[in-house]
Amino acid sequence: MWAVLLLGCACVPCARGQNRSPWTLESVLAQLDAEAKDFHSLAADIERTKVTVVVNDRSTETGNIFVRGDKMLLELKAPNPRTILRTGDSLFIYNPGLKRVEEYNLGKNRALVDQFLLLGFGTEGKELQKGYLVALLKEEKLDDRKTVELELTPKSSAVRNQIAKIQIWLDESSWLPVQQQFYEAGSGDYSIVRYSKMVRNPGLPDSQFKPHWPKGTQKIKPQG
């Protein structure tokens, strides 16, 4: 399940970044609270790079992500196609090569899973503070976008045993994540997730988040 969580997961023009004082942690969190009220959905391209430090190995996969409310569809296309769907209390992982779909019941872990899969997509500042110790690191340009970088340290010791910290870069024009970096506990390995071609509040139908798999797909429910 933690391997799944590490996945993740329109630049709206505005003048909010002009003629203002430098951002403080309090003002960033207040901005996230305000922006969350108008966030409904998102479509974007995604690139995830896993870095294994000991052997200096980097592996990258690409695809598309769609988010609406608490629903998420992640379609990874290369190099190993698969689909990850989160809806309600269910998380599905479909592997077309194996013609198999795994279904996980999130149950009491639903809120915890959403901290990772939906991080930054309409997340309120006060919600971030519930689950993390939040620090403002700096402002910087990333992919020609002006961003605010936050560092999130999980408050839960159980979570910190898996994820030591998360860094997230928020686009100051849309307040959506341009990049997230997840640091695994112990190993020092990390994953970098980058988002591009972002469209804020596109019309995404219910049918896009319905579990439907090709005929003949094997359905399994792993335990644990």
The dihedral region occupied by 208, where left means phi > 0, alpha psi between -120 and 50, and beta the remainder, is alpha
> Per-domain residue ranges for the chain?
23-219
The CATH architecture of the domain made up of 23-219 is: Clam (2.50)
Tens of each residue's pLDDT in the chain, 224 residues: 544 544 444 333 333 444 566 899 999 999 999 999 999 999 999 999 999 999 989 999 999 999 998 899 999 998 999 999 999 889 999 999 999 999 998 887 776 676 666 688 888 999 899 889 999 999 999 988 999 999 999 998 888 888 899 999 999 999 999 999 999 998 889 999 999 999 999 999 999 999 999 999 999 998 75
Those residues with Cβ within 8 angstroms of residue 81's Cβ, 6 or more apart along the chain or in another chain: 95, 96, 97
The pLDDT of residue 81 is 94
What pTM, to 2 d.p., does this model score?
A: 0.84
pLDDT at residue 172, rounded to an integer: 94
CB atoms within 10 A of CB 167: 17
How far is 169 from 149, CA to CA, in rounded Å?
Answer: 4
For 64, 117, 181, the CA distances from 87, given in Å and listed in that order, are: 17, 11, 24
